[in-house]
Amino acid sequence: MDHAADAHRTDLMTITRYVLNEQSKHPESRGDFTILLSHIVLGCKFVCSAVNKAGLAKLIGLAGETNVQGEEQKKLDVLSNEVFIKALVSSGRTCILVSEEDEEATFVEPSKRGKYCVVFDPLDGSSNIDCGVSIGTIFGIYALNDGDEPKLEDVLQPGKNMVAAGYCMYGSSCTLVVSTGAGVNGFTLDPSLGEFILTHPDIKIPKKGKIYSVNEGNAKNWDGPTAKYVEKCKFPTDGSSAKSLRYIGSMVADVHRTLLYGGIFLYPADKKSPNGKLRVLYEVFPMSFLMEQAGGQAFTGKQRALDLVPKKIHDRSPIFLGSYDDVEEIKALYAAEEQK
C-alpha cells in the first residue's frame, strides 16, 4: 500500500462537495436540486454494482418482456428502471418521470412531489451487456414552476430549457459526466470509498477531431449529405489525413469518447428510419446539452438539436454531434443540399 500517495489524496472533490459548492453560489437555492442529484448518484452506484455482478447474479437472461420500443428487455433493464424510478420518487423533488422503458410518463403522487421533471434512459446500450461493452444511464432534468399542477406538456419542451443533463458510464471504470449549465465535469467512482471523485474538471471538446463514429452498416440507406460527409472522412480531398472510424454501438460510450477526444458522432435518418432512431428527450437532448456546454455542437440535419420541440415523449430524431468544426462541415453539406 502506497501511504505517501494516499496522503496526497486527502483533499478530494467528491460530487457531493462539488454540488454543494455550486449551490452556495445561489443564495436563493433551497437545496432541492442537490438532493435530487444525490438520489440520481445513488441510482448510478446501485446500477454500477448490479452491472458488475450481472454474470454472477444471473441477471443477464432475457426478462421475456418487450419494451415500448420493441426491444427485448434484459433483466438488468427492468432492475435499473425500477431503481431509478424509486430513487427519483423518494427524493421528494420530482413530479414527472419519463423513462425509455415505460410507455407512459410516471406522475409522482402529490405528497411526494417536487418541481423537477426527469427524463432518462436507465440502461442505454443494454444489448451489449453480454459481451462486456460499456453501457450507461442517460438523464436530463427540467424545472417546472412551483405550485403548478404537472401536465405531460411540461416535459415536451425543447432541450435548451433543461437545467441539467448527464450520463453515467459503466465500463472499465464508472464515470459520471454532468452539466448544470456552467460547463461539463466528469467524476469517477472510487470503489474503495464508494464516492464519485472529480477526475475530469471543465471538459472541453477539441474544436476539430480525427475520429468519426457511425454505423456504416446502414450506408446504403443514407441520404446524400451523410454519404458525402463519410466519404470525405475516408477520402479527404484537401490533403488532410483520413479520419479514423470508431463505433462501439453504445451511445454513452461513443459520445464519451467523442467528448474527450473530439470528432463527430452520427446517427442520421435513413430510408429504414426516416425520423432517425435515437429518442429526443432522453438520448438526443442530454447528449446535445453536454456537447454544447463543452464547446461542441449538435445538429439534427435541419436545426440545432436543442431547439427541437418533441410532440410525444418517445419521439425520435437524427443527430450529428461533436467537435464544433466537424459539425459545421455536415451543416454545410445539408445547406448545399437544400439549395439544389
* Coil/strand/helix, residue 164: strand
Q: Which residues have CB under 8 Å from 156's CB, separation 6+?
A: 309, 310, 311, 312, 313
* Coil/strand/helix, residue 298: strand
Q: Which residue has the cell 459545421?
A: 328
Alpha helices in 125-250 (DSSP H): 224-234
CA distances to 54, 172, 226, 260, 333 from 134, in Å: 13, 8, 26, 16, 32
Number of H helices, E strands in the chain: 8, 17
For the full predicted model, state whether its pTM sits above 0.85: yes
Task: For the chain, 340 residues long, give each residue's pLDDT as a single digit of tens.
Answer: 454 555 455 678 999 999 888 888 877 778 899 999 999 999 999 999 988 877 665 555 555 556 666 665 557 888 899 999 999 999 999 999 999 999 999 999 999 999 999 999 999 988 887 788 899 999 999 998 766 789 999 999 999 999 999 999 998 899 999 999 999 999 999 999 999 999 999 999 999 999 999 999 999 999 999 999 999 999 998 888 999 999 999 999 999 999 999 999 999 999 999 999 999 999 999 999 999 999 999 999 999 999 999 999 999 999 999 999 999 999 999 999 988 7
Using CA atoms of 331, 335, 337, 340 in order, give the dihedral in degrees to the nearest 10.
Answer: -170
